[in-house]
Amino acid sequence: MVTLQLVGSLRKELADSLSTCRLLVVGAGGIGCELLKNVVLTGFKNIEVIDLDIIDVSNLNRQFLFQKKHVGKSKAQVAKESVLQFCPTANITAYHDSIMNPDYNVEFFRNFMLVMNALDNRAARNHVNRMCLAADIPLIESGTAGYLGQVTVIKKGLTECYECQPKPTQKTFPGCTIRNTPSEPIHCIVWAKYLFNQLFGEEDADQEVSPDTADPELSWNPADTETRATASDQDGDIKRVSTKAWARSTGYDPVKLFNKLFKDDIQYLLTMDKLWKKRKAPLPLDWPEHQKLTCPQGVTGMGLKDQRVFGVAGYCQLFSRSVETLHSMLADKGDGAEEWIWMGNCDDPPAMDFVTAAANLRMYIFSMNMKSRFDIKSMAGNIIPAIATTNAVIAGLIVLEALKILSGDVEQCRTIFLNKQPNPRKKLLVPCALDPPSANCYVCASKPEVTVKLNVHKTLVLALQDKILKEKFGMVAPDVQIEDGKGTILISSEEGETEANNCKFLSDFAIRNGSRLQVDDFLQDYTLLVNVIHCENLEKDVEFEVVGDAPDKAPAPTRSQEEGKNVANGNKESSEPSTSSEAPAEQNDILLVDSDEEVPSSSTMAVSMESGGHKRKLHDAETGEASAKRQHLSQPSADDDNDIIALD
Amino acid sequence: SKRTMAFTKASKDQKYDRQLRLWGDHGQEELENAHVCLINSTASGTEILKNLVLPGIGAFTIVDGHKVSGEDVGNNFFLSNNSIGRNRAQAATELLQELNTDVSGNFVEEVCVFNYEHTCLRLGSVLWNANIPFLVCRTYGLVGYMRLVVKEHTVIESHPDNALEDLRLDQPFAELKNHIQSYDLEGMGKKDHSHTPWIIIVAKYLEKWFSEHNFQFPKNYKEKEAFKQLIRQGILKSEKGTPEDEENFEEAIKNVNTALNPTKISSGVDDIFNGEQCNDITSQTPTFWVMTRAVREFVHNDGGGNLPVRGSIPDMIADSEKFITLQNIYREKAMQDASVVSKHVESLLQSVGKVCETLFCKNAAFLRVVRCRSLAEEYSVETVNKDAITSCMDSADGEMVLYLMLRSVDRFYQQHSRYPGVYNYQVEEDISKLKLCVNSLLQEYSLNVNVKDDYIHEFCRYGASEPHTVASFLGGSAAQEAIKIITRQFVPFNNTFIYNAMSQTTATFQL
């Protein structure tokens, strides 16, 4: 019985190890706030917390260390201050920063005995996973989504790492689907988000919204292209310098914008008749001049009633009004406007109004059923419902796993899934034994290696760097050397060294089928050998394929949790915890769980249960063990362990 | 003013956005109208309240006569050093109140619990008679315990997983029948053909199937496969004779299994209809039962044995016009049915219940009633659920043994006015005393089970401590149950929940 050993003896050693343990908490959001509270009340003394986010109103329903007056301030900083108010003796360091900043290198991670992730995105999870592997520090990974949650422990060499199991890639959509042939509401929503950035934020060549004449479905005959090019030249609107420059030249006139986006561009799309042979053709919209410009019911000064769907006229109105609002906000911002980007910040009402209106108008044009603002917000921001209760449960579980690690019992750690309600076997929690590392993992294997299929004549060095090494393989600043016997440096993370290569194709460097690339990420202390397979017939819109990877079209992590399935966590991501840790040397296999602020005195309790001797020493009464208990000699009749709650 | 109200609403929508996605505006409204009472602001107690204050419970009242102690400050986040010596209810109320200004926090300075078992039973019986839900929550060392005591809790929105759509393809109502008839799959153009909603496709091929199969529904796997094949043959062919790419037909084939699910009333709902609450409607009858009775009347008199049409259909490949028309046919029928139900409600009672008929009808297939056993029944030698205890004790290290241990430490308390192991120097002698309590408990209830000594040692070591991280877990779980009960959404557990923090396992028992 593990429990016996864990609770029974050697409490002092564990209490000591808690008070000397340096702990890193990555993230001060939903789980992070609960976690900070739990760790200080469990006896951790030296805590560092890092989060780059600032506090938003929509955090306040669960992130209890923040109040309305803190909106706009640093999460890490305010969390620290709030905890100190309650627990002034804790030693907390706060960083308002990204954990992926190179300042937090392997040396930084080695300062800690334990790392706890309370993150909301996969990129940061991948990164912390690698840093903890490189520093050989145990990591507890966690995540929640609505009523679901998950906790796991990652220890180098002993358990799976976060990246051992390939995860379904985040769904991205081919450019031509977004620009020419949307078939689902999400395509229109993505288009509307791009449009927002094009008009009011930073322009990004990958977020083009105009009709795409290079759609592979079209296979133009050159004469056609010629005519069209001429036509579009004449039509100055279609071939524009940039969407934003054009919008600016019209003074952000909502009607002109409307006509361009929802009428002219659509009419232009209709000329690509190949696209509409099998599809239902889109229907260009006219600005509803004839309609009175009164607001439809519900479109008031307070914004749309969230959960209703309005008619086209309503969305025309909303479009027009949100363009005006955003334009004036842009004007107010002046030169800083370029920094205004759609960051999935769906809690910004005018931006959300704009996206709702533009997406719905496009849905209407493409014969889809329009969606409410509430639904669009979910889809546009990948908003995952979040509540205090789930985070409280998960944070409680995390600390219990931490206690096992600190007492040297990593083998007893579990991956734990939290269900929405007790499953058919009446279990709310499903604990599973940790899996050993996957031999083929391209992160934690002793010599990580991976095989990538791509077209060497069509893949740019920049795409290799950004899409494959950074986005797919989660590196921060990769260096690439070709194993060609000469040690040609293809990409250097030092600025100014290899930028000239960016716009060349891999084949320009004699990379061909069977070439091997040695990729190093100095920060992550990570080396990956990439085997290149040249491939001419990749699927449409697929730039590369990782051999043995989960298929790109893998379904999103399921929310209906069967046992053992992973749960999406935080925002944006599916969490799939796992990793490595090293048992601190001074530990033994006994875990103390009683936790209190008072530090136990120095007297030792040397008797372990499994040695059979139940010879607890009487003077233990003076140790922290006694003080950790709820009842004391001074108040023998107190009976305050029972809380009863009656609900009216 | 109206504008200020609208503004408050908008700012609340923003603050509560992430949870509105779970229980909706109406769930939030229930929450904001609820008043909960917490007895004893221990770590577990304040953790529960924190998780109710954050999402915006209307009001809370803490009843607690204790003074804040050093240990309290050590494991309770909502008590601070400078509150030592003050009344615990007041100190906790002040800090909890800070979490959310929309919530009204109150306290009563009153010692409520001297003897756990005794107090629970007494309070349990008072609340039982008043039909006020009572959730007993307890953190004892590495064990979490919850017991829900409620005579009757009715749930309209039970949010079942994987509920099937209510399409009525086996018994189409007149409007749906007419609409299906208005489609001519053979005669229509290619574009319309590939934009016909799959529901219509399945309905059309069902007609065909019926005529070939003596009006028998495809029932087993083989027949369903044959039916899918029938649909597949309907996909248009190109000039070369190869099938066109018709996604709507593929969708129809994919949905055959669930779409052919016969329309019927589940046994759970049938039981609710046949309950006595449904038979004897008086002016005192709660809305839920009036509505249920009205729906039952509908089933018998108007629905031809079926529930009101739910009125929603899933998203599907179709052009807007066809989809919206079809959607409206279901929606209008649902509204029609709801208004018939509403007439039954009116004739049952002069005053109409406050629950919206449409919501009720929409969820009629998933109505749930939770009836817990009372604490008195659980504790009485005559009515104890011996079978549940004995069968769960088959696995000696399951969670049931923790329940028996909790009962035993309460017995210890009754005899010694303290919990075992609270003073370290007494741990050894407490082990044998606790063992006597375990044995007398088993004997009193004639339970022929074996409790390992290990557990007795373990519970002595707990010394009735309340580790914060276990309290955090329990606070989250208990608040979640409270929210289920308050919002009347999702089904609360019935009736005992045990958490083993060391193995990270949980179980629920009906005791």
Q: How far apart are CA B228 and CA A456, in angstroms?
A: 45
Those residues with Cβ within 8 angstroms of residue A640's Cβ, 6 or more apart along the chain or in another chain: A630, B40, B42, B66, B113
Q: How far apart are CA B251 and CA B323, in angstroms?
A: 14
For B:212-241, CB contacts with A below 8 A are none
Percent of chain A past pLDDT 90, that is, above it, reads 40
Of A361-365, B219-223, B401-405, give the range with the top mean pLDDT: B401-405
Q: pLDDT at residue A367 above 70?
A: yes
Give tens-digit pLDDT for A237-284.
444 457 778 888 888 899 999 999 999 999 999 988 888 877 788 999
Q: Band the pLDDT of A607: cuts 50, 70, 90.
A: very low
Q: pLDDT at residue A485 above 80?
A: yes
Give tens-digit pLDDT for B202-226.
999 999 998 888 888 888 889 999 9
Binding site annotation covers A164? yes
- Nearest CB among B413, B423, B475 relative to A392 is that of B475
Q: pLDDT at residue A580 above 90?
A: no
Residue B133 sits at the chain A interface (C-beta within 8 Å): yes
B476–A392 C-beta distance less than 8 A: yes
A643–B45 C-beta distance less than 8 A: yes
Q: How far apart are CA A167 and CA A145, in angstroms?
A: 17
A34–B482 C-beta distance less than 8 A: no
Per the CB < 8 A criterion, the answer to whether B137 and B480 are in contact is no
* Chain B residues closer than 8 Å to A68 by CB: 101
Q: How far apart are CA B124 and CA B131, in angstroms?
A: 10
Residue A578 sits at the chain B interface (C-beta within 8 Å): no
Rounded to an integer, the average pLDDT of A51-69 is 92
Q: Given its phi and psi angles, is residue B85 left (phi above 0), alpha (psi -120 to 50 degrees) or beta?
A: left
Q: Which of A21, A33, A132, A176 is catalytic?
A: A176
Q: pLDDT at residue A331 above 70?
A: yes
Q: How many CB atoms lie within 10 A of CB B216?
A: 10
Q: pLDDT at residue A635 above 60?
A: no
* Chain A residues closer than 8 Å to B191 by CB: 280
Catalytic annotation present for A132: no
* Chain A residues closer than 8 Å to B421 by CB: 629
Q: Band the pLDDT of A298: cuts 50, 70, 90.
A: very low
Residue B12 sits at the chain A interface (C-beta within 8 Å): no
Q: How far apart are CA B85 and CA B66, in angstroms?
A: 9
Q: Is the peptide bond before B495 cis (omega within 30 degrees of 0)?
A: yes
Give tens-digit pLDDT for A494-530.
888 888 999 999 999 999 999 999 999 999 999 999 9
Residue A71 sits at the chain B interface (C-beta within 8 Å): no
Q: How far apart are CA A286 and CA A271, in angstroms?
A: 18
Q: pLDDT at residue A567 above 70?
A: no
Instruction: Kindly report the pTM of this predicted structure.
Output: 0.79
Q: How far apart are CA A12 and CA A14, in angstroms?
A: 5
- Nearest CB among A377, A629, A644 relative to B464 is that of A629
Residue A409 sits at the chain B interface (C-beta within 8 Å): no
Binding site annotation covers A87? no
Percent of chain B past pLDDT 70, that is, above it, reads 96
Q: How many CB atoms lie within 10 A of CB A149?
A: 30
Residue A4 sits at the chain B interface (C-beta within 8 Å): yes
**3-state DSSP assignment of residue B225:** helix
A347–B423 C-beta distance less than 8 A: no
Binding site annotation covers A98? yes
Q: SS3 string of A191-241? A: HHHHHHHHHHCCCCHHHCCCCCCCCCCCCCCHHHHHHHHHHHHHCCCCCCC
Look at strands A544-546 and A449-454 and give their pairing. Answer: antiparallel
Residue B468 sits at the chain A interface (C-beta within 8 Å): yes
Residue A308 sits at the chain B interface (C-beta within 8 Å): no
Q: What tokens appear for A194 in the block?
A: 């791009």
- Nearest CB among A64, A385, A618 relative to B22 is that of A385
B51–A389 C-beta distance less than 8 A: yes
Q: How far apart are CA A51 and CA B229, in angstroms?
A: 56
Residue B59 sits at the chain A interface (C-beta within 8 Å): no
Q: Band the pLDDT of B5: cuts 50, 70, 90.
A: low
- Nearest CB among B140, B428, B506 relative to A427 is that of B506
Give the pLDDT of residue A573. Answer: 33
Least confident of A236-245, A430-439, A555-564, B162-171: A555-564
Binding site annotation covers A97? no
The nearest CA of chain B is from the CA of A152 a distance in Å of 12
Cα distances from A96 to residues A53, A68, A238, in angstroms, run 7, 19, 44
Q: Band the pLDDT of B360: cuts 50, 70, 90.
A: confident
* Chain A residues closer than 8 Å to B248 by CB: none
Q: pLDDT at residue B404 above 90?
A: yes
| CA dihedral (B200, B204, B210, B213) positive or negative | negative
The nearest CA of chain B is from the CA of A431 a distance in Å of 6
Q: What are phi and psi of A324, to 5 degrees?
A: -60, -45
Q: What is the ipTM of this complex?
A: 0.87
- Nearest CB among B127, B421, B423 relative to A646 is that of B127
Q: How far apart are CA A319 and CA A335, in angstroms?
A: 24
Q: How far apart are CA A596 and CA A625, in angstroms?
A: 9
Q: pLDDT at residue B175 above 90?
A: yes
Give tens-digit pLDDT for A406-428.
988 899 999 999 998 888 888 99
Q: What tokens appear for B88 in the block?
A: 């615990």
Binding site annotation covers A121? yes
Residue B432 sits at the chain A interface (C-beta within 8 Å): no
Binding site annotation covers A391? no
* Chain B residues closer than 8 Å to A85 by CB: 80
Look at strands B143-149 and B134-140 and give their pairing. Answer: antiparallel
- Nearest CB among B51, B137, B142 relative to A392 is that of B51
Give the pLDDT of residue A562. Answer: 35
Those residues with Cβ within 8 angstroms of residue B218's Cβ, 6 or more apart along the chain or in another chain: B209, B224, B226, B227, B256, B260
Name residue A440's amino acid.
Answer: N
Q: Band the pLDDT of A194: cuts 50, 70, 90.
A: confident
Q: Band the pLDDT of A334: cuts 50, 70, 90.
A: low
Per the CB < 8 A criterion, the answer to whether B130 and B151 are in contact is no
